[in-house]
Structure 1
Amino acid sequence: MSEPVKLLGSFGSPFTHRAEAALRLKGVAYEFIQEDLGNKSELLLRHNPVHKKVPLLLHGDRAVAESLVIVEYVDEAFDGPPLLPSDPLARAAARFWAQFAVDRCSRTLFKALWTPDGEARRGLVAETKENLALMEARLDGRRFFGGDQVGYLDVAASGLAWLPVLEELAGVERSMMGEEEFPALCRWRGEYTSHEAVKACLPSRDQIVAFYAGMKERLVLHARSMQK
């Protein structure tokens, strides 16, 4: 009998989505446990005492934390379509660009969303577009970043699928990832969100709004503090 798989997460969280998308793409049966982030469960605190965050994967008596670490674990621990390429160089490239998407692209974009209009925001928007242009070039005419199937880098960059809702929530009038400037990324976003396995675990607009609305004031204050 196979060991039970449980995923502790939060609807609307792009980090939770990465882990859940990996499970669905690999065809792994799992139980989703919704965490109350304002009152974290004993199960979460016991198995992730370092960061105390979601997502957290429980596979039998093993616990795996951090979204991209979970994606790699799922890819290696379960049968199913591979998420990372088999070629060592291609695997290294996928990991490199995944870190770029998370550490530079998404974080700069997030700061730009919540920074008030002014010189600082204009600089962040310009930097965001430079990063997006590199991601656009990475697609290089492919349907997904790794080819014809959703893979590791697509899952890592999936936070870009949230952008229209986040821009609406932040009151952004002109999208930083418009179709005229970034046609390949916009097409990719449509392909990714319409993929059968991915679509089954995409949060609704209302779930995304609910996830971020409660922290909007804190995000704005944090963005302002970074300018001082």
Structure 2
Amino acid sequence: MTNLFSIFDPSTSLMNMPMNWNSTFIGMMLLTNIYWMMNNRYATMWFIPMNILNKEFKILLNPKTNKGTTLIFISIFTLIMLNNIMGLFPYLFTSTSHLTMTLTLALPLWLSSMMFGWIKNTESMFTHLVPVGTPMVLMPFMVCIESISNLIRPGTLSVRLAANMIAGHLILTLLGNTTMNVSMNLMPIMLFTQMMLLTLETAVAIIQGYVFAVLSTLYTSEVN
């Protein structure tokens, strides 16, 4: 079991420096050249989905009063997606499989939006605690339920992302260890299964980054 979970071990170091966490910044270094070099196919391919995300996030947020807010969530999506995909490469550490990384992203977003909402829009935040059409008898219970749901939002965001990354990597690791011990007749089937799972994990890596960014946008839009 120690060898199985060693892919999530962040303790590998070189000269007392945690080198595993440096893989978090590899993807961001690959993106920097598209912001100062001339437009090319690589930059065009990257900016098309970013523009689509920008338009989608503007629907959830008010673009007149929150100019530039969508760039925060697009950056979060980019960071999470790149870390998820980079973790599928051999010998690269998946930082998003740890709550240290995911909770660091979710908690400041939630805390800042809650502070802004309760300071600037106090009446609106109180109205969110009681949904429209709630009977008078159920109002105290709805306040408790809505308060608990607001408090667990950063936890659900971070745990969802980390759990999905851990589950997919564990399945790939188990199949990889099993493939080494099967007969040659079953080898093509195992390789095909691993290729399909790797394709699925690539899709999950993109979807989980999108879900994290969209839910963060929705939580922020409630404050406004």
- The alignment's TM-score, normalised by the length of structure 1, stands at 0.28
Q: Which has the larger radius of gyration?
A: 2
Structure 1 or 2: more helix by fraction: 2
Q: Give the alignment's TM-score, normalised by structure 2.
A: 0.28
Bigger proportion of residues as strand: 1
